[in-house]
Amino acid sequence: MPKELKDLVFGLDIGTAKVMVVAAEVLADGEHAIFYSTHIISDISRLADELVFIHDGRLLGRHATTEMAESWRRITFRLAVGETRIAGVAEHRRVRDEHQVVSFAQAETLRHLGELGADRIEHSPMTIEEIAVMILKGGSHAQTA
């Protein structure tokens, strides 16, 4: 097996590894795409260019994996302002003036927080699995097909 294929399947279970080797061979010509259905996001997310989320037969979203990794963030900050809607946020939790949000548009969210005068802003990346859970929870942010 070529080194590239060994690296491609490192850490995958044997069944998934076999599927990935065949998929890599088919995709090698650049003229084909593969539709792979799974509940194990961690196995496929590092191989896929795009992820499509379907729940109960309904398309929830189609996202490029690199864009998902770049745009989704968990952001914590302090803001004394009362109830406010923050741009690009899928989930918002607040205890007094301490906030934690999940943003699907980090640049927009960070810009808006700056405008609101938030301080102690910290952000961290989310895993593709965490992002998938947020998308499957629903909301208008997931409707990007």
What local confidence, expressed as pLDDT, does residue 6 receive? 47
pLDDT in tens, 2-40: 444 445 666 777 887 787 777 777 777 777 776 777 777
pLDDT over 90 at 57, yes or no = no
What pLDDT sits at residue 84?
81
61 or 101, which is more confident:
101
The pLDDT of residue 145? 32
pLDDT band at 56 (very low <50, low <70, confident <90, very high): confident
In percent, the amount of the chain with pLDDT more than 90 equals 37
pTM metric for this prediction: 0.70
Say if residues 63 and 51 touch (Cβ distance below 8 Å): yes
Q: Three-class SS string for the chain?
A: CCHHHHHHHCCCCHHHHHHHHHHHHHHCCCCCCCCCCCCCHHHHHCCCCEEEEEECCEEEEEEEHHHHHHHCEEEEEECCCCCCCCCCEEEEEEECCEEEEEECCHHHHHHHHHHHCCEEEEEEECCHHHHHHHHHHCCHHHCCC
Give domain limits for the chain. Answer: 3-64, 73-125
Task: For residue 5, count CB atoms less than 10 angstroms from its CB and return exposed for 0-12, middle for 13-18, buried for 19 or more.
Answer: middle
